[in-house]
Structure formats: structure tokens, C-alpha cells
Amino acid sequence: MHIPPRVLTVAGSDSGGGAGIQADLKTMLALGTHGMSVLTAVTAQNSLGVQGAWELPAEAVRAQFRSVVDDIGVEAVKTGMLSSAELVETVAELLAGVSAPVVVDPVGVSKHGDPLLAASALDAVRGKLLPTATVATPNLDEVAQLTGVHVRDEAGMRRAADAVLEFGPRWVLIKGGHLPAGAGDSAVDLLTDGTAEHWLRAPRYDNRHTHGTGCTLASALAARLAKGDTVVRAAAAAKEYVTGALAAGFRLGAGIGPVDHGWRLRGER
């Protein structure tokens, strides 16, 4: 009997299905793994933004995590929206007891600019969550939020990576998709452990329907790590997958639509 690799996402729910837990589980299935979830928050969210968010109690998060890990086990974990210092500290404590690789997506704001992490939680992310990470995957806004480093070009991505690595993750993947259009005609990310540098480039697509790109990339990275890839191979495969999903993104509602997590199933690019 074939048992697919087991990947756990610890994140919030996106009722519109484009990001959060929903994007994570779709990505994990698309990449041939068994996705499991620990829900940290519920959001009322659609293509226009986040209309409301409700955090779950820490004991509910802890119970979900223990229920899955103690019985089913995990081969990789991905974290997303954690919202408060209490939840960040709770999840960091749980991750400290896990030997599987951990991908930390330090979600700070939604695609529409809605805050998803309390300012009071930043110290806990820096001091407790990031040290548990095999790979941290901040975008440029999250880099600025965590480190104060504002990136405007590729050279700035090196400074950003160094600043994030000081908080203790083994690797950092700085996502450069938010660089100004004049900074280059490709979407570039920087993967580094402070010694080796790997620049991951892909075409920029003229598609505004990009909701869920960060969640999707981090989940794809976790899925590939669960399948036994090295960090470098996993990051390259995740970049390829999210690029295809972004290129195939489609309109839902009146605002920003989601990336297409099932693009490979339809042979789209």
C-alpha cells in the first residue's frame, strides 16, 4: 500500500479558498502528499479583502497539533497565519519537539494589505518561531516588518537575508515578487543559508490574480521536503510550481482572484 508523505499546515482559514489552509491543502494534494491541518484562526475573506478574523484558543491549536502528530506523524510542517504572540509562542513550543523539517511563512498582512499578525507578536516571531525554521519564506513587506530592512533591488535582498538569518532559521528564502517592475523582467527569489546563494528566477506574468502565492510557495516547499528533497531542490521545485499556478490564476469575485493550484492537472501554464 502506498502511503504518501505527510505534511502538516498550521495556519488560518481563508473562506474564499485562495490562501491559508485551503491553499496549503490544495498544494499538498497537487504535489502528491497527504495534507493535514491545525487551524489557528478563521477569517471572513474574499477577493476584495479580509472582512473579519477570529483567533482560536491556544489550547485548541495545541490539541489539534498533538492529535495529528502523536497518531499520524509528520514528515514536514508549514506555518502560516498565527496572529498573536500567544499563538506564536504555542506553535514554536510545539515545533521544538518535532524532528521533521519546518517551513515558516511569517505571514504579516494579506494580499489586500489587511493585518494578519499583531504588532505585539513580532518579538515572538523573531525570538521563538524563526529559530525553529528549516526555511523561512518572508516576502519583502514581511522582511521590513521583522528586520527594518527595506528592499528596493536585488542587492537589498542579500541584506534582507542576512538580517533574517540572524534570528536563527537554517535557510531563508527571500521572495522578491514585490520588487518594482523596473528592478527586472523576472520574478526573483534568493535562497541562502548565509554561505551558499541560490537565485531562483521565473518570468513575470501580467496577471493580477495572485491571491495565495505566499502560502502556495511555502506549502510546495514543505511538500517537496517531505518527499526527501534537499532544501535547494525543494525550493527550485516549489518556485516552478507556484509560477505555473500564478500564470494560470483566474478571476473569482470582483477583486484579486486566486492562483490555480490544479494547473498541472489540466496541463495549463
Q: Supply the residues annotated as catalytic.
A: 175, 210, 212-215
CA gap 174, 180 in Å, rounded: 15
CA gap 254, 159 in Å, rounded: 37
Task: For cell 510546495, name the residue.
Answer: 220
Q: Is 52 exposed, middle or buried (0-12, 13-18, 19+ CB in 10 A)?
A: exposed
CA-based nearest residue to 245, from 216, 225, 223, 219: 216
Length of the chain in terms of residues written? 269
Give me the residues paired with residue 201 across strands. 188
Question: CB within 8 A of 251, min separation 6: which ones?
Answer: 209, 257
- DSSP-based three-state secondary structure for 53: strand
With residue 188 as reference, give the H or E element that holds it: strand 186-192
CA-based nearest residue to 98, from 119, 79, 122: 79
8 A C-beta contact, residue 32 and residue 3: no
Task: For cell 509560477, name the residue.
Answer: 243
